[in-house]
Structure 1
């Protein structure tokens, strides 16, 4: 008699199933029902994976070595396990599960590894670049609830890479650049000057980068600008906006692109007056991003 697992003999099947059952039973004394549920499901799927692919001991050792390397490269400025979660789509799937559709609320996407607490505050219409290199970009819009009512006083955190594809925390000089926060006015309006987003690679000099190379995948992220928007009684929104026409929209390395978040960054030729009278030397761009916040869940 054989089984669905690649023609595994029945006695071998019995032994493998018995082992899984023993591991599942080891959680019978767990006092936390949710933890027990998660651990049992993890064991079922993990053992199912091992049996499906008939993992060899050499492959198991390679997996352990990979995870060990990910731990060694992780520090307070780099989180290789989040990077791994990102490139496997686990981060995006978790976000999708936990940000259920609610009317026309703006869709969420990956948080990314480069957010930093304590960003400087800028006024509406202020400049978040603080000297970061790149083409100027005027970003503006409104924050409303799902009924279309303005959300005054919403806190908007924004951060992005410079034109070289690097965030301020990737430099060693302690700079704070291309990140800030601001608040909406009584009409829910906001505006700021940033940088026209450009594509860049996720950190790929470690084990996750080696994994991408071995599987023929690119480390490149589609051009984007990060937002985190919070307001009392509203569900926190972590999202990006992406540049329409970017050739990487369909191959973003962390699966963060959603069609609703792809926006028109309208190029303005040199000499085009800025809406606030700002003097700009050269070309610039502008984009509108109207944000809709879902109600906070009870």
Structure 2
């Protein structure tokens, strides 16, 4: 028997082994994965030692995952895969809010809060109000829409990163829009922060000479009956790292002004000290097909 120096015989056999999959989509996905993986190995002349190191890296990535940390999402993020998948499937009606990555810190349920509540339970940052409306693509207010919010504190940490330091649920809230689709809450201006670098993904960034920072942002998931949900952020305009986000998630339409506001009547309305920072952001949802 002659040796197949290119390995195409192995590839053909592996692809043929998948043809019995009952789920056609599973068959399609695995066929594409095997084909591209085999082509990668041939193109780069992947060595046994290199593949063993890759397996060790993936093993370490899985071992770094906990109930409050998802290292595989972090890996997907820094490789740009999370943003690519979101972009491929993120086409929306004109005017609908653009989506972006979920990120690795949506790990706990946000506590239900009343409109206007303060999610900065540690009260350590620059006071800020975020307000807006949830609208259908034709501008109709979506009464009762649910807005899930989570963010880092003014030092760049999420509550799940600092148990015992931050109160549980700090920076998180689940809000229900009023009869006019409006939502608003108090918080602090978030800070830029490094993604966790104490695990295998951090080692990968160091090995490739990349910084780990994300620009300051607040996460949202908005849902409403009869509409497609949207997962998105708003980014603080003028901040650092907008042009070099470690997870490639910045979109121009999501960069918002956090304007310093000196309006005593508005401060009284929102229940904050004057002056304060104010970000206005409407969430426009696409009608479900």
Q: Same fold (TM over 0.5)?
A: yes
Please report how far the alpha carbon of residue 42 of structure 1 lies from its aligned counterpart in structure 2 after TM superposition. 0.3
TM alignment of 1:209-224, pairs within 5 A: 209-224=202-217
Gaps (5+ residues) in structure 2? none
Query: Does the residue aligned with 1:194 lie in a helix, a strand or coil?
Result: strand
Q: Measured at CA, do residues 61 and 270 of structure 1 come closer, stay the same or move farther in structure 2, by a change above 3 Å?
A: farther
Checking the alignment, whether the CA contact within 8 Å between 2:155 and 2:190 is kept in structure 1 is no
RMSD: 2.1
Q: How does 1:1-298 map to 2 (within 5 A)?
A: 15-173=6-164, 175-268=168-261, 274=267, 276=269, 278-280=271-273, 284-297=276-289
Secondary structure in 2 matching 1:162: coil
Aligned-residue offset at 1:15: 3.8
- Structure 1's consecutive aligned runs of 4 or more residues displaced over 3 angstroms after TM superposition are 11-15, 268-273
Aligned residues: 286
CA contact (8 A) 2:100 2:233 kept: yes
Measure, in 2, the Cα distance between the counterparts of 1:198 and 1:163: 5
Shift in Å at residue 290 of structure 1?
A: 1.1
Matched residues in 2 for 1:145 and 1:270: separation?
30
Which string of whole-angstrom CA distances, capped at 9 and with x for unpartnered residues, describes residues 20-49 of structure 1? 111111112222111111111001111111
Residue 185 (structure 1) shift: 1.3
Asked if the contact 2:68–2:108 (Cα under 8 Å) also holds between the matched residues in 1, the reply is: no
| Distance (whole Å) between structure 1 residues aligned to residue 207 and residue 162 of structure 2 | 28
What secondary structure does 2:18 align onto? coil
Structure 1 residue 172 displacement after superposition: 2.1
Under a length normalisation based on structure 2, what TM-score does the superposition of the two structures give?
A: 0.92
CA–CA separation in structure 2 for the residues paired with 1:93 and 1:38: 16
1:277: how far off?
A: 5.9
The equivalent of 1:6 in structure 2 is none
